[in-house]
Structure 1
Amino acid sequence: MTRTGAIGTLPDQSLHSRWHDGRRPYVHRLFLLGEGIGASRTPGLHEYEGHQQGLWLSYRILDSLDWGITADDLPAVLDWARASGFSGFNVTHPFKQAIIPCLDELSDRAGALGAVNTVVLRDGRAIGHNTDWCGYQKPFRDALPDACQGTVVQLGAGGAGAAVAYATLDLGTPLLIIHDINAERARLLVERMSGIFGPDRVQVGVDLARSLAGAEGVVNATPVGMATHPGCAIDTDLLRPQLWVSEIVYFPLNTELLVRARAVGCRTVDGAGMAAEQAVQAFELFTGVTPDAPRMHARVRAMVA
């Protein structure tokens, strides 16, 4: 079966948007596109809030591992989504950057970051947004209001990494050191962030131990720690009590990195806040309805507890 054929046979294509008051759809069909996302709590989060708001909202999983989807198939995925009456979809690893050439338009922030996690389908056009950066920034600032006054080390320079780097620099950290197993990817992100915040505030990391020795905190913006990517992004020997540790992975909520960091005495921030806040912003983009943010945050924690 060809990939295009597989995409074409995805279920629930017959339901098309119905309209409330002739202007705004109260039926919304959404999905999450990514790799190894079968355990994602995003569908339940959006569907629960949609129900609370009086919307008829369905949210599905489109796991690239199940459907054999690669970056080459993204135009076909987009065609399928348009033809099937979807209001939009979220994008996660590894498609946040690859989806961009397929879109008709980017929001200013998505364009600046070079990464998209939310695609809104409206009037035949596909518009890419990025809600990851604000999704990360607000919960982090609430948890550690005194952070980002010194050097911060970031692991990961992919799509999520771009959003986290922007958020961290926007919070005022004087120096962000970005490490990635792909040196070219790290260089490109540093180049992008330098163009926004200046070349003196961001650099490519070479020696993680040396970077962490002079840092006040570290952010894991890689998939390492997810249920489908188990492990710890940092050796325990590199952790010390004075270091705060921030995580973007939220399932499991207590990643191996956070467990080790707490055992050492580090202050930590888990990934649930980002998962909820980016969804708060995406929900409004998809539906035009302002969600109840505290309710969505509480829902995420209830689902992953």
Structure 2
Amino acid sequence: MQRRFLVGLIGANIGKSLSPALHEDAFAAAGAQGYYHLMDLQVLQGRATLESLLVAVRTAGFAGVNVTHPVKEAVLPLLDEVSPEAREIGAVNTVVIGRDGRTAGHNTDRTGFRRAFEEVLGGKAAARQQVLLLGAGGAGRAVACALMDLGVQVLHVFDTDAARAQTFAADLQGRFGADRIRAAADLAGAAWQAAGIVNATPIGMLGYPGMAIAPELIDTRHWVADVVYTPLETQLIATARRKGCRVMTGGGMCVHQAAEAFRLFTGLEPDVARMHRLFNEACARRDAKLAAAG
């Protein structure tokens, strides 16, 4: 008998997400039947909350849901249990729902970013280097931990909310050492010291135009990575590419975190190479439509 799964995504501004295509094709490739449902908090504003949606998906028999901006941190106290890795990061992006209705939070962004970085830029690009991280939110926490895994010597964390960056740095210093994490008050100075720059803010995403760093602070010697994949070629990536920088789009992280979430939801092994191909094809079609419309 073919196994059936109901999963989904809770977040804001997710209408263009490629997660449904990735997961539903992965179900088919694994010989299962599945549906991936989008629950956009912007669309549902005033009619549903994160808490009420979690109740609804448990009642409906979902195997789990992904959660994204802006609720990766807000979801933690609503769960029955949280994995040690997600607890360390302080954010959840994957909620598995047991047959008894118990919810378990996980974070696959850390693994997703690390695997994508190793594939695209190579682990040596980060090892024993200084790196500038833009954004001290849930995605930033996962990326910071992944960069620590990759052996970054010093991570400079910048956020437009300076107090948030300070809290972020102090928290991670307790886990990785006071000499390895610094809150960056001077963005230009941190960029000058860094070998690479990572955008972990939503800036550059459809609906959040622009860049989280001034173009003049990006130098040819930098490698530049973005976690945003809608569009795949963000203004940051396009600017860095024009300057001759090595770049990593948010695509690889999206695929690898989705593959790990799929394993958690189903216990099945996804075809990651097939997920990459589907993602690239879907991105090309979606971004062509966005370009034509805009």
Normalising to structure 1: TM-score of the pair?
0.89
CA–CA separation in structure 2 for the residues paired with 1:98 and 1:220:
21
CA–CA separation in structure 1 for the residues paired with 2:134 and 2:45:
28
Alpha-carbon shift at residue 142 of structure 1 (Å)? 1.8
CA–CA separation in structure 1 for the residues paired with 2:157 and 2:46:
29
Could you list the runs of 4 or more consecutive aligned residues of structure 1 that deviate by over 4 angstroms after TM superposition?
none
- Match for residue 116 of structure 2? 139
2:241 aligns with one of 236, 244, 262: 262
Greater shift, 97-106 or 44-53, is seen at 44-53
Is the contact between residue 148 and residue 176 of structure 2 (CA under 8 Å) also seen in structure 1? Answer: yes
1:40 aligns with one of 17, 20, 39: 17
Q: Closer, same or farther in 2 for the Cα pair 1:37/1:186, shift >3 Å?
A: same
Q: Deviations 1:138-172 (Å, cap 9, x if unpaired)?
A: 11012222211311000001110000000001111
Report the AA paired with residue 216 of structure 2: D
1:127 aligns with one of 94, 100, 104: 104
The runs of 5 or more residues in structure 1 that have no matched partner are: 1-19
Report the AA paired with residue 167 of structure 2: L
The runs of 5 or more residues in structure 2 that have no matched partner are: 285-294
Alpha-carbon shift at residue 251 of structure 1 (Å)? 1.4
Alpha-carbon shift at residue 75 of structure 1 (Å)? 2.2
- Match for residue 201 of structure 1? 180
SS of corresponding position for 1:200? coil
SS of corresponding position for 1:278? helix
- Match for residue 292 of structure 2? none
Report the AA paired with residue 126 of structure 1: T
Q: Closer, same or farther in 2 for the Cα pair 1:295/1:126, shift >3 Å?
A: same
SS of corresponding position for 1:78? helix
Is the contact between residue 29 and residue 271 of structure 2 (CA under 8 Å) also seen in structure 1? Answer: no
Alpha-carbon shift at residue 35 of structure 1 (Å)? 0.5
CA–CA separation in structure 2 for the residues paired with 1:74 and 1:34:
9
Is the contact between residue 229 and residue 251 of structure 2 (CA under 8 Å) also seen in structure 1? Answer: yes
The within-5 A match list for 1:14-163 is 26-68=3-45, 73-122=49-98, 123-145=100-122, 146-148=124-126, 149-163=128-142
- Match for residue 5 of structure 1? none
Does 1:174 find its partner at 2:153?
yes
CA–CA separation in structure 2 for the residues paired with 1:301 and 1:251:
12
CA–CA separation in structure 2 for the residues paired with 1:165 and 1:74:
25
Report the AA paired with residue 60 of structure 2: S
SS of corresponding position for 2:49? helix
Q: Closer, same or farther in 2 for the Cα pair 1:203/1:296, shift >3 Å?
A: same
SS of corresponding position for 2:280? helix
SS of corresponding position for 1:39? coil
Does 1:284 find its partner at 2:260?
no
SS of corresponding position for 2:26? helix
Greater shift, 152-161 or 49-58, is seen at 49-58
CA–CA separation in structure 1 for the residues paired with 2:112 and 2:164:
22
Q: Closer, same or farther in 2 for the Cα pair 1:248/1:199, shift >3 Å?
A: same
Does 1:221 find its partner at 2:200?
yes
Alpha-carbon shift at residue 74 of structure 1 (Å)? 2.3
Alpha-carbon shift at residue 302 of structure 1 (Å)? 1.3
CA–CA separation in structure 1 for the residues paired with 2:169 and 2:209:
27
Normalising to structure 2: TM-score of the pair?
0.93
Q: Closer, same or farther in 2 for the Cα pair 1:262/1:73, shift >3 Å?
A: same
Q: Closer, same or farther in 2 for the Cα pair 1:69/1:87, shift >3 Å?
A: farther
Report the AA paired with residue 171 of structure 2: R
CA RMSD between the two structures:
1.4
Alpha-carbon shift at residue 69 of structure 1 (Å)? 5.9
Alpha-carbon shift at residue 27 of structure 1 (Å)? 1.1
Report the AA paired with residue 62 of structure 1: M
Q: Deviations 1:205-242 (Å, cap 9, x if unpaired)?
A: 11111100111000000001111211122211111110
